[in-house]
Structure 1
């Protein structure tokens, strides 16, 4: 098989008319891949995505064909349809955090969407908001307005991306809330298949693509207890000798262990299944 793309966490291989998407145990923060893997991370991401794809099957087609992949990748890879990927990160925010919080503090808006004044970190927004960004192969993504997307993709496709992203997020947030989890924000990726049908791709509502907060400990005005890689971000932000550029620092064993434990916990919390 031919390696056609290697991202920060995933590799994509061509296999005849299909592609195989393989999730590694690599961790990236601030767009830098750190040298220390988190055991089982790739498998957890893959299995959470598969679970969510099933929850959304009636809302939008997805790229998954099956899990018929080489033995060495079993559990952490899926066979998928080839898609023409839409060059937009479809971000939805239900709460104010991360880059959205930074943008709000600077301008009172994110991706051209004005937020109410006086919000504090982790505040729940009046309603979920679509705040897309560019999709950069290298460097940092940049927020982009829906009007700018429409110039490239047309209004119909742009509106469809927005509406699908919000619909998927809202259902996912409701399912998660019933399980004691708040989905603060997330990003989706879409592509078009051979018939031009807009299709959900890549990963969906994983601890790498989303912020998951423990509902029982939620309190606006501060950072939240997270089931995601925010734990690694928080650790890396304490380092005084790293400027967030390559090469990244080794992750200490205790941070690796806690990150793995949180990934397993969110898998079990959402799916109701035991990780083995």
Structure 2
């Protein structure tokens, strides 16, 4: 379990509630948004169940701006949890005021391509989350149609575990399971189309949903369609049968597992600090993904 997350900074008028690998969550105690949540995206980066000592400059702002852009693109499909971007000055640009929701204990994953843990499951059983797939698929193969491949929400630092649709039904009931599957696939389809128009393939994405207290409305929450929660590949470099180049922290993983890092993943020791060139290359990938998707300059 991850235990090396630095303490969250104090923010006047708020109470710190929780810190994840990247985000810090606060309750707003006074003012117009009293009772709402303040979600702050840091520049932290994690890999292999460690929060690294190195940070990626501007990462928190990039992730926040990308999520806000996607929430706007998806607003006709599903409501989102963002209430305001009027936040304390010390976290301006990388925080949002959001609703407090009853979160569904399910990671809602859509896959349009076979890779990652889905590929591992497929190679072992010919299925992903109980969904049979055709034989002969490779790393990076495009699926005939996107599939809903949910996962359990693991404790911080543990791995999410892929589960079947029936397991989701057992957790949240038939009606909500069907609604979550439908929303996940609709969001993926819309996002995949928009990304493809911009020369980027959306291989898969993880979404989180909640429900407003006392209501039936399902709301899209947390981050959405960022390089931290999604696999983005440059379309012109897609070649099934290999690991695809990507717009995410794969650069960091590659360096950590190379001889150059001197780090043994199985040692249990914390990874070393990242070289400046790895930090800069990672930042460049995040910026490029943001600019290509949104058409905006960072």
How far does residue 196 in structure 1 lie from its aligned partner after superposition?
Answer: 3.1
How far does residue 89 in structure 1 lie from its aligned partner after superposition?
Answer: 0.6
Instruction: Write out aligned runs for 1:56-205 (5 A).
Output: 56-138=74-156, 139-194=158-213, 195-205=215-225
Number of equivalenced pairs:
275
Q: TM-score, normalised by structure 2?
A: 0.89
Aligned to 1:2: 15
SS class of match (1:35) = strand
How far does residue 274 in structure 1 lie from its aligned partner after superposition?
Answer: 0.6
How far does residue 233 in structure 1 lie from its aligned partner after superposition?
Answer: 2.0
Q: Is residue 211–residue 230 contact of structure 1 (8 Å, CA) maintained in 2? A: no
Measure the CA separation in 1 of the matches of 2:82 and 2:60: 16
- Following TM superposition, the consecutive aligned residue runs of length 4 or more in structure 1 with deviations greater than 4 angstroms are none
Bigger mean CA offset, 117-126 vs 221-230? 221-230
Q: TM-score, normalised by structure 1?
A: 0.96
Measure the CA separation in 2 of the matches of 1:238 and 1:196: 49
Unpaired runs of at least 5, structure 2: 1-13, 29-33
Measure the CA separation in 1 of the matches of 2:37 and 2:290: 25
Q: Higher relative CO (CA 8 A, sep ≥ 6), structure 1 or 2? A: 1
Aligned to 2:257: 237
Choose from 16, 27, 46 the match for 1:14.
27
Unpaired runs of at least 5, structure 1: none
Measure the CA separation in 2 of the matches of 1:246 and 1:39: 24
How far does residue 246 in structure 1 lie from its aligned partner after superposition?
Answer: 5.5
